[in-house]
Amino acid sequence: MSVFASRGRSRSLIAAAAAVTAGALALAGAGPITGAAAAGTSQSGAATYLVVYRAGVSTSGAAKAVSDANGQIVANYSNIGVVIARSSDATFASTMRAAPGVEGASATAKFATRVDDGSNASSTTADPPAGNAPVSDHDSLSGLQWDMAQIHVPEAHAVTGGSSSVLVADIDTGLDFTHPDLAANYDAAASANCASGVPTPLAAGNDDNGHGTHTAGTIAAAANGLGIVGVAPGVRIAGVKAGVGLDGFFFPESVVCAYMWVAGTGAVVTNNSYFADPWLFNCKNDPEQRAIWTAERRALQFAQSKGVVFVAAEGNQADDLSHPTQDATSPDNTTPVLRDITNACAVVPVEVPGVVGVTATGNLQQKSFYSSYGVSSADIAAPGGDSILQRTAASPNGRVLSTWPANLLTATCLPARRVVDASGATYCYQQGTSMASPHAVGVAALIASVTGKQGGALATALQRAVNPIACPADTSPYDFFPAVDNGAPQTCTGGIGHNSWFGAGEVDALKAVS
């Protein structure tokens, strides 16, 4: 699965930890769009393709080239030279690779990421937004939010709950915008369903997994007296659906669509609790995987150029992303095949330049047993939960509580993890770097609310609003949780100012607004 939450072993950052110990985890302005989603969906047995043009080459002739190759255009993202097409012709990809100006073409069905339980950015600062009113952290389930207390969110809320002028986009499995803790902050106009590769409006029941509703609640659940309070309960939240189904697969066309969509919404920061591509490690030295990597990276960097900050979950494989040697997880939508890899292979989006990578901590403020890490990819840490090594009186099950769709509570949230507010609102405990990333996103939203920072300036401020944590003197507890992919022991390298487990340190919401 590409989501990094805690339900089972999957490609999501969270899932990796689940596989280590049975039961440990339950489940990490766009250019003109031409064509229509319906154009390709009518073809029986058709496959979806990404066609990547060489940098600087116009895609204006793409419709004819695709038609000549027996395909149909789904979307033409001309600003980044990427075309999404559908075809039932087995020779479509090879024909398109030979077309003038085309750099690569790949079918996307085998390139999906799954949700799992377990810079080029601009640097600008505008005037601080209005409406930074304090809020109270006395909702009915606030006492269960050890994660918020740990990073001083209630103290920050005495300064501000965030401004409604600030928009946060949650790229995930969608979100339940009817949930009473999310409805007031939901921005329908900035939300989209990118499952087809073309943005369409989000419909009711769009979150068919629960993961996206959980991450959205951590970011922006309202301070309204019921349930929980998010890190930034005063900001607007947009759901951008890129993950589909109970497994939460994030296909490349959906990911590209999501990145291009948020570029035009005015969002200041996005949450990315997943990895994109069926290949956990996407190897740029492989022609097919390189086309996917190029398309996704171009779309992400286009959004960065519009001032959007990307914050991403590090993953749940207990892997050192800076020193990869094997990938035993991919392709995660079929049968994984063990393959040797190098640093030519990277996890998308967390290892794309300029993306802020987040590792997970538990209630003892140590790295969660499942969290992946890396001195080159881990920028900050945030609470993601730890159900094995860091259970405490404040966090008896080690997990993070957040919003969950009522229609999925019995289907996708285990009985021991379900919580129902007196009002009937539904919540679920989860763990994973999927849960850590939205805490950091909420802190970034508070910074944007009080300072007006955007782009690279906001990303830098987020990485400074931390409490440094040194590598532990004793890492023996982690000996029982070697890397999922290559079996290597977990090791922490670096100093207290920056290390492979915590980056610059754990986020601190009070420092962010002070």
Contacts of 396 (CB under 8 A, 6+ apart): none
Q: Which residue stretches of 119-243 are H helix?
A: 146-150, 153-157, 211-220
CA-based torsion, 431, 170, 200, 37: positive or negative? negative
pLDDT tens, residue by residue, 110-163? 776 666 554 333 344 557 777 789 999 999 999 999 999 999 999 999 999 999
Q: Please report which confidence band the pLDDT of residue 276 belongs to, taking 50, 70 and 90 as the band edges.
A: low
Contacts of 38 (CB under 8 A, 6+ apart): none
- Whether 229 and 157 have beta carbons less than 8 Å apart is answered as yes
- How many CB atoms are closer than 10 A to CB 48? 23
Token digits of residue 139 = 């909702």
Distances (CA, A) of 246 to 174, 230, 233, 441: 12, 25, 28, 24
Query: In the Cβ-directed half-sphere of 509, how many Cα atoms lie within 13 Å?
Result: 32
Could you tell me how many residues make up the chain? Answer: 514
Predicted confidence (pLDDT) at residue 314 exceeds the cutoff of 90: yes
Transcribe 359-424 into DSSP letters. EEE-TTSSB-TT--B-TTT--EEEE---TTT---SS-TT--EEEE--GGGHHHHS-GGGEEE-TTS
Q: Rounded distance, CA 66 to CA 83, Å?
A: 9
Q: Please report which confidence band the pLDDT of residue 264 belongs to, taking 50, 70 and 90 as the band edges.
A: very high
Average pLDDT over residues 430-435: 98
Lowest mean pLDDT: which of 59-68, 81-90, 245-254? 245-254
Burial of 222 (0-12, 13-18, 19+ CB in 10 A): buried
Q: Average pLDDT, whole number, for the chain?
A: 89
Q: Rounded distance, CA 433 to CA 13, Å?
A: 6
Closest CA to 488 of 43, 20, 146: 20
Q: Return the domain boundaries, the chain.
A: 15-29+115-513
Lowest mean pLDDT: which of 83-87, 179-183, 306-310, 337-341? 337-341
Transcribe 430-462 into DSSP letters. E-SHHHHHHHHHHHHHHHHHHH-EEHHHHHHHH
- Whether 240 and 201 have beta carbons less than 8 Å apart is answered as no
Q: Rounded distance, CA 271 to CA 41, Å?
A: 29
Q: Rounded distance, CA 422 to CA 161, Å?
A: 24
Q: Rounded distance, CA 505 to CA 463, Å?
A: 8
DSSP state, residue 419:
E
Q: Rounded distance, CA 471 to CA 421, Å?
A: 39
Closest CA to 355 of 120, 135, 183: 120
Token digits of residue 132 = 């930074």
Residue 454: which region, alpha, beta or left (left: phi > 0; alpha: psi -120 to 50)? beta
pLDDT at 113: 66
Distances (CA, A) of 177 to 207, 214, 326, 507: 9, 12, 40, 27
Give the residue numbers marked as catalytic: 172, 211, 434
Burial of 198 (0-12, 13-18, 19+ CB in 10 A): buried
Token digits of residue 98 = 């030979």
Predicted confidence (pLDDT) at residue 4 exceeds the cutoff of 70: no
Instruction: Give pairs for 411-419: CB < 8 Å, separation 24+.
Output: 411/246, 412/7, 412/27, 412/209, 412/210, 412/246, 413/26, 413/210, 414/26, 417/26, 419/141, 419/144
Q: Rounded distance, CA 29 to CA 261, Å?
A: 7
Token digits of residue 375 = 């001195």
Average pLDDT over residues 434-447: 98
| Report for 190-199, 248-257, 324-333: range of highest mean pLDDT | 190-199
Q: Name beta bridge partners: 403.
A: 427
pLDDT at 275: 81
- How many CB atoms are closer than 10 A to CB 93? 22
Q: Rounded distance, CA 215 to CA 269, Å?
A: 14
CATH classification code of 15-29+115-513:
3.40.50.200
Contacts of 211 (CB under 8 A, 6+ apart): 3, 5, 27, 115, 172, 173, 243, 248, 273, 430, 434
Query: What totals of helices (H) and strands (E) does the chain contain, helices first?
Result: 13, 26
Closest CA to 43 of 71, 65, 63: 71
Q: Rounded distance, CA 296 to CA 431, Å?
A: 27
Predicted confidence (pLDDT) at residue 476 exceeds the cutoff of 50: yes
Q: Rounded distance, CA 64 to CA 73, Å?
A: 9
Predicted confidence (pLDDT) at residue 409 exceeds the cutoff of 90: yes
Quote the distance between the C-alpha of residue 246 and its chain's center: 16
Asked if the bond preceding 128 is cis, omega within 30° of 0, the reply is no
Average pLDDT over residues 203-231: 97
Predicted confidence (pLDDT) at residue 44 exceeds the cutoff of 60: no
pLDDT tens, residue by residue, 78-117? 999 999 999 999 999 999 999 999 999 999 887 766 665 5
Q: Rounded distance, CA 108 to CA 49, Å?
A: 6
Predicted confidence (pLDDT) at residue 181 exceeds the cutoff of 90: yes
